[in-house]
Amino acid sequence: MDMADSAPSPLRQLPAVATLLASPQAVPLLEAHGRIATTDAIRAALEGARHALRSGAAAVPDIDALLVSARSQLEGRPASLRPVFNLTGTVLHTNLGRALLAEAAIAAATEAMRHPVALEYDLEEGARGERDDHVRELLRELTGAEDATLVNNNAAAVLLCLNTFALGHGAIVSRGELIEIGGAFRMPDIMARAGANMVEVGTTNRTHAADYRNAIDANTGLILKVHTSNYRIEGFTAEVSARDLAHMANTAGIPLLNDLGSGSLVDLSAYGVTREATVREAVAEGAHLVTFSGDKLLGGPQAGFIVGSRASIEAINRNPLKRALRVDKMRMAAIEATLRLYRDPDRLAERLPTLRFLARSRDDVAAQAGRLRDRVAAHLGETFRVEVGMCNSQVGSGALPLDTLPSAALQIHPNGSQRTLDELAAAWRGLPRPVIGRITDGALQLDLRCLDEADEHIFLSNLTGRA
Ligand SMILES: *Cc1c(COP(=O)(O)O)cnc(C)c1O
């Protein structure tokens, strides 16, 4: 683009960044958004104007127009981590942040953010206290264990237990339990990083007591039992119960670590999912250490619980890695509040969103889909067909992988529309509050199980970009 010197290029007529920043119109932007963000937005507005001029736009925008464009950028840029609608049908969706917290937990975390808290301070003695003191009694009461500690997540809990008891020693595990959890949690890799020597016993489908017994030697650090959270081995199978393994471990003078994965503090069969052993039952079976997640079926924030014998927990607390894996005050507050709710089991489903979502009946979800169908159809127009269809939700996060929860969905078919399903899904993700559904059977399926009735109006106003 060679311009004659006598005719100044329209590009050169654009004001400089400094000129725009110094203009009176920039003052409110600087006040609201600060210098760095405002400068970035002004640069972006100038870049947009240059692009428009190069592609043939005739008018050079003035300072007002450029700052209006900068302002819309500043105000329109949503936070990266922001609320979405989880209409995937997976209640505990790891990529969407798993459990939603109870109001009591949210309030407690907020207070802990706003005020100093007695995080490691004993208010009776006026002396240093322990972080775990805030939940120790509750966990003893709810699980029957002698002692308890908390770390960043269940992966950290397993890592810490292995490192405490099997650093440079053997950790015996069944070949049927060498799990991989989504992401990068693979039991053999965690064992290696914990410094434990993995001693595999048995076969994929069958492991016997003798397999464990024959593997125990003077260098054995612990026996590990892992809940095969996200798969089932069916057919010709055999596994050794935690109770038998605990006996064996006791005889050998080593601990049994039982990684429950999701772990639940109450019998969940009342909420429409398969009954699994509770943490209390796992403790009663005699495991020296039991680990489980905070943000799976328990319905709290991300955390890893380790409960077990006093001696085992003391050894864990002496491990220097504990410090690197501990939880912060916000989560500690949210966890304490969540655990307190378990003292009133009758009202859990009202208070814990995870249980509330799991417990919803298909009829309830279908009635909601019926309420919303016409509004969504009206919004989408003629070229889409919106139907209420039946579907199955799942628990998610590897918990109860074979359970399906009968549910209902809005199924959007791009009838006669030029838009493909991928484009349709992308458009829903592009809403002010992104809506995440699932493409299945030629439709975009929005399973409404996790849409609270109280949020329906936000869901609808969101469609018109007014959320
Ligand atoms: C989910 C899970 C983990 C990892 O727990 P996070 O809390 O996600 O770190 C470990 N073990 C088992 C068996 C699991 O199901």
Instruction: Output the CA–CA distances (angstroms, integers) from residue 466 to 75, 425, 457, in the order listed.
Output: 14, 19, 11
Q: Is the CB of 153 under 6 A from ligand 1?
A: yes
Q: What angle do CA 8, 13, 14 make, to 5 degrees?
A: 150
**Token output for 446:** 């929005």
Flag whether 222 is in a domain.
yes
Q: Find the 243 Cα to ligand 1 centroid distance in Å.
A: 22
Residue 266 lies in a domain: yes
pLDDT tens for residues 94-124?
Answer: 999 999 999 999 999 999 999 999 999 999 9
Return the closest-CA partner of residue 49 out of 20, 79, 7.
Answer: 20
In a domain, 130, yes or no: yes
What is the per-residue pLDDT for 40?
A: 94
Predicted local distance difference test score (pLDDT) of residue 5: 52
C-alpha to C-alpha distances, 423 to 416, 429, 448, nearest whole angstrom: 14, 10, 21
Helix (H) or strand (E) segment spanning residue 32: helix 27-54
Strand (E) or helix (H) holding 443 = strand 443-447
Residues 326 and 439 reside in one and the same domain: no
User: pLDDT below 50 — which residues of the chain?
Assistant: 1-4, 467
413 and 434 part of one domain: yes
Q: Considering the domain boundaries, does residue 61 fall inside one? A: yes
Ligand 1 close to Cβ of residue 152 (< 6 A): no
Residues 187 and 127 in one domain: yes
**Could you tell me if 346 and 387 lie in one domain?**
no
From 150, 154, 296, 400, the mutation candidate for ligand 1 (largest count of ligand atoms within 8 A of CB) is 154
- For the stretch 200-245, pLDDT in tens is 999 999 999 999 999 999 999 999 999 987 888 889 999 999 999 9
Angle between helices 362-380 and 456-463 (to 10 degrees): 20
Structural domain boundaries enclosing 334: 103-351
Give yes or no for a contact between 424 and 436, defined as CB atoms under 8 angstroms apart. no
| Atom from ligand 1 closest to the CA of residue 303 | 7
Residue at token pair 């009461």: 141
Identify how many contiguous H helices and E strands the chain contains and give both numbers.
Answer: 18, 17
Ligand 1: residue whose CA is nearest its atom 6: 154
Chosen domain end from 351, 368, 386: 351
How many Å from the N-terminal Cα to the C-terminal Cα in the chain? 44
The CATH number of the domain holding residue 374 is 3.90.1150.110
Query: 44 with 89, same domain?
Result: no
Alpha helices in 302-430, H assignment, sequence order: 310-318, 321-325, 329-341, 348-351, 353-359, 362-380, 421-429
Domain assignment of residue 173, yes or no: yes
Pairing of strands 405-413, 180-181: unpaired
In three-state secondary structure terms, 238 is: strand
User: For residue 349, which amino acid is it?
Assistant: A
> Which is the closest atom of ligand 1 to the Cα of 398?
15
Residue 213 token pair = 């017994």
CB distance 321 to 193 below 8 Å: no
Do 42 and 116 have their domain in common? no
The label of the residue with tokens 């304490």 reads 336
User: Which DSSP letter does residue 345 get?
Assistant: G
Do residue 425 and residue 287 come from a single domain? no
Q: In this predicted structure, what is the pLDDT of residue 7?
A: 60
CATH number for 199: 3.40.640.10
Q: Are 205 and 236 in contact (CB under 8 A)?
A: yes
Q: Of the candidates 281, 219, 201, 199, which has an alpha carbon nearest to the alpha carbon of residue 246?
A: 281
Domain boundary among 301, 323, 351: 351
Q: Which of 329, 351, 373 represents a domain boundary (last residue)?
A: 351
pLDDT of res. 467: 45
Q: Is residue 80 part of a domain?
A: no
User: Beta strand 185-186 with 180-181: parallel, antiparallel or unpaired?
Assistant: antiparallel
Is the shortest distance between the CB of 155 and ligand 1 below 6 Å? yes
Q: Give the span between the Cα atoms of 212 and 226, in whole angstroms.
A: 14
Tell whether 68 and 192 lie within a shared domain: no
Mark whether 161 and 217 lie in a shared domain: yes
Residue 117: inside a domain:
yes
Task: Identify whether 26 is part of a domain.
Answer: yes
CA–CA distance, 271 with 279 (Å, rounded to integer):
17
- Is there a single domain that holds both residue 140 and residue 25? no
Ligand 1 centroid – CA 403 distance (Å): 18
Specify the pTM: 0.88
Domain count of the fold of the chain: 3
**Cα 293 to averaged position of ligand 1 atoms, centre (Å):** 6
Kindly state whether residues 190 and 238 are assigned to the same domain: yes
Distance CA(26)–CA(17), nearest Å, equals 11
Q: Is 98 touching ligand 1 by the criterion CB < 6 Å?
A: no
Q: Are residues 197 and 164 in the same domain?
A: yes
Gyration radius (Cα) of the chain, Å = 28
Phi/psi for 238 (5° steps) reads -155, 135
* Ligand 1 neighbourhood includes 258 CB (under 6 angstroms): no
